[in-house]
Structure 1
Amino acid sequence: MALRTEAAVAGELEHATGRKNLLQLIQLRWIAVVGQVATISVVHFGFGIRLPLESMLAVLACLVAFNIAGLLRARARRPVTNYELFLALLVDVGGLTAQLYLSGGATNPFVFLYLLQVILGAILLQPWSTWTIVAATVACMAGLALFGRPLALPPDHDRGLQSPYIQGLLICFALNALLLVIFVGRIGRNLRERDERLADLRQRAAEEEHIVRMGLLASGAAHELGTPLSTLAVILGDWRRMPQFTEDPDLLQEISEMQAQVLRCKAIVGGILLSAGEARGEAPAETTLRTFIDGLAQAWCSTRSTPSFVYDNRIDPDLPMVSDSAIQQMVCNVLDNALEASPHWLRLEAELEGGTLKLTVMDAGPGFTPQMLAEFGKPYLSSKGRPGGGLGLFLVVNVARTLGGSVSAHNRPGGGAVVVLRLPLAAIALEQHDGSGS
């Protein structure tokens, strides 16, 4: 399956964040409806201040209807746009203005709830929309001061908390603070999650671009090396038949060794060309998981010098698969790194775990540093201290990720490192697996 483009995934993240923010506004509106019902009841029936209940309840009914429509809209697959969030905040400003007009105008202590709409607009909307919200709230505030009818409240501000107006101001301040902490915090978290995922996406795109450049370089080098290696093979073949070499057993043995190494170099070049073209399935050979891992371990061990290589294949049941050079090179790369760190002992384990193939490579070397474990798989991060180091594990991590798998690492309690590769069976096996294994 083709990888999605960065723009497509970024669009999906933006849509998901917009939907979450729309749901936050809907939830805030429900709280506003409940709060207004409670406030109207306390003021009208508790304080005995007469309010136009029918008109105020009609405004509440409109807000409820708009919220229900918002819930239906949130279920749709279409992306939530800036215009929709802008419209939602304008409706909230209009509803608040209507209620304030009916309950004292600019003298109503809850007039400072306009600040909540302005702050939400500054966080959620584009600049032009935010400034439009600011202009709308200022205009509404001025309109309330010009046309609103003040409530019949006694001039008792000097009574402190015993004054209904001061009590209203205190409640308004507490509501503003509480709602800002809760909802601005949630919206900010939504936006941070989006930014973090976008940053991760850009990092992955940069790494994949780096791999493409490396693949092109490797492919070009492999093509260039093909001709001199073929020439060396022909020359060595000629030397092998020359009397000067056939009469000297030591020279003949050295030529045989040189021919074997040239053949190995040609096989490596062929593997580079195969992998650089992403040729999964080119000249496919059907095999099984157990046979494939057995052959991989045997081929690796036969070309490396290690006193103790422990191999434990616990794959059961066995499953059919197509031989894949990318997986082979990925595992060999991990084994090569382990051999460099621990020339005298390393271990390879293969088993099925759930719906994945689990390959574990262990060594008895110095292990990973904390920095390498924290940034495992990043390019040019190596404990070997040589230029260009760290690319092996970087390629391993990205090949596994392309197949839908993962690579993790940790240090052994008794010393040494452990690298675990997990590859989904759905990506490598020829048939579905029920996920059970011994």
Structure 2
Amino acid sequence: MTDNTQPVDTILNPADPGQGATLTRAVSDIFEAGRLRLQTLILLRWLAVGGQATAVVFTAFIMDFELPLEWCLGAIAASAWLNVILTVRYPAPRRLGEREAAAYLAYDILQLGVLLYLTGGLENPFAFLFLVPVTISATTLSLRATIALAALAFALVTFLGPYHLPLPWFAGEEVRLPPLWLLGMWVALVLGLAFMTAYAFRVAREGRRMSAALSATQLVLAREQRLSALDGLAAAAAHELGTPLATISLVTKELKQEAGSSLDPALVEDLELLHSQAERCRDILGNLSLRGQAGDVVHSRMSLAVLLDEAADPFRDRGREIAIELSPDSEASAGEPPDFVRQTEIMYALRNLIENAVAFSRTKVVVAAKWSADTVEISISDDGPGFSANVIDQLGEPYVSTRRTVPGSKSPGADIDGGGMGLGFFIAKTLIERTGARLVAANATRGQTGAIIRLIWPRRVVEPRA
């Protein structure tokens, strides 16, 4: 048993490893949705163009400072024309590929570097704007692209320290800042680039991972709910199709009686076959209707023993003993084991956790339940290697792989090396907590090995209302 080591194919349905494609595409779409839109990049560049033009015009005409005005306006106009070309060439909702987005952001860094070269280099207080394109990359692009852009910004910051035109100032005067101050500016910009890149990338990555994991949880829950509704649909289909099948059966019977012996024997045989097949269809639909009604009763109210047995049943053929134990708590008022309201979330989560326990056990898995007057607890334990000590505090986070199997214990459907998406335990924990339970994970003690997962509900939450 472990969290988040199941492959994609077993996340959608632990007992049916053929449903992974949908989840793979859905989670991939979540990460793709984090890519940079062209419209966003164009808007940000227009803001930069407006700010740069305002600063240059204010410096030249209001402050009356000397600066290479034509070159500065030319660099700003290049960005404006690039925006115009992109707006005309591409639709606004277009999402940029990673290389394309990185190229546009690299252009923004180079354009800013040209402006700073013309206006004082690191002596210009606007040098901190190097952080903006790199931060945008960190929140939308891959780590490799972000590192490349940060390296470009670092190179330009290093170059602009000693090499630049004079800082714009009053006519006839020149400003020369101390080398130590320029060194401090360089250090501050370099550290700012490193910190902002790492911080923004980590925060954005965690947000995308959590969004994708929650979307996967919603897909799992929706599918399980559809499966649980099939019995009701079967009963409804039996009811709707019963009338036309009865009509077909009656008409064939009457045709045979009215025609008597005047019909060709081959036609009589065909009528008999049609009548028998219609009756057979009615019988099949009748059985489906009864099964749907019986299923409704079972699904709406089931005993604790039946719940555990049904959850463990798909994994009994995987070479491990699965023992189910039920016992009341020590208090005298515990009474009989409670019935459970059938909930898709509980069944899926139990199957997921039991499958993990089977995959990582050596010989045996114990699914135990105990109850008191106020609580119900289900524990799933195995005799495997247990959870890794360095990640046990991260249990429940998406994309966390915690254990490796013991030699020879790998069971079908288990990704022991953590090569899957790492969502199994996260989905199970999320679904269980939706039902009002508390999940506690720990390793075995008292000289034993293995992992233990405890699910604890208030009894009033799971019992059917009278």
TM-score normalized with structure 2 length: 0.41
Q: Which has the higher helix share?
A: 1
Higher RCO (Cα < 8 Å, 6 or more apart):
2
TM-score normalized with structure 1 length: 0.43
